[in-house]
Amino acid sequence: MAQNITEIKKFKLERLANIKKIGHSKKLKRLATDFINLQAPHKYSYNFDWLGLPIIQLPQDILAMQEIIWRIKPDLIIETGIARGGSLIFYASMLELLGKGEVLGIDIDIRKYNKREIERHRMFKRIKMIGGSSTDGGVIQKVAKVAKGHKKILVCLDSMHTRNHVLRELELYSPFVSRGSYLVVFDTVIECMDEKLFKNRPWTKGNNPASAVRDFLEINSDFIVDTEFDNKLAISFTPGGYLRRIK
């Protein structure tokens, strides 16, 4: 038994050393940026389902969220931006494995066909949805009502990607995050991408989730960037966006 414990510790130490090396590799970072830019016209992240519904994320970020959920074991996961519903189903399925908890999704436009598919899914028993802007006062009141009584809360922001909108979300939703849990801000990668890839979008370099995170952390010392995820994933839509609440 003692030998098994020693081998497990040895493996974990080796893994931490490898993660650190990945984080220091400038060549790997350049290659990751190239991949992000090259995949964008082909919508690579649109190619995957979770238990039958499209989940518009990179596989690396999906795996990172699995690690976070299994580690934190939240009672409630709040997500802004529902899209086609795959991420709601993913979070609900993780909570199903844990045997507890619920998912709350907020979206300004919950399309009928998406809503129908989500409601038909066997994981819907752990899902609630609110229609409306994630920053609307009435919506926040509804979120607060759902969050009341939950001890461990994880928040994921993935709606409108402009700096002002995400910063407002950070201000409004950060109080819901329990200490030790995470506030995950998706699509910070926009800051690293070629601007021609989103020329018809309202976000740009300097006006995106990454700039919102930067400004938020300047005034809020309750959160830090968990750089372990940046390093271990290498390729991610969420660099610098895995924020852990430390106080």
Give 77-124 pLDDT, tens digit per residue.
Answer: 999 999 999 999 999 999 999 999 999 999 999 999 999 999 999 999
How is residue 96 written in tokens?
Answer: 């199903």
Burial 110-120 (b: 16+ CB within 10 A, else e): beeebbebbee
Name the residue among 161, 182, 199, 146 with its Cα closest to residue 83. Answer: 161
How is residue 81 written in tokens?
Answer: 């931006």
> pLDDT (tens digit, 9 = 90+) per residue, 150-181?
999 999 999 999 999 999 999 999 999 999 99
| Non-local CB neighbours of 209 within 8 Å, separated by 6+ positions | 157, 161, 163, 166, 185, 186, 187, 188, 190, 241
Domain that holds residue 165: 2-245
Looking up residue 30, the CATH number of its domain turns out to be 3.40.50.150
Say if residues 193 and 115 touch (Cβ distance below 8 Å). Answer: no
> What is the model's pTM?
0.95
pLDDT of residue 6: 87
The arithmetic mean of pLDDT across residues 46-53, rounded, is 97
Domain count, the chain: 1
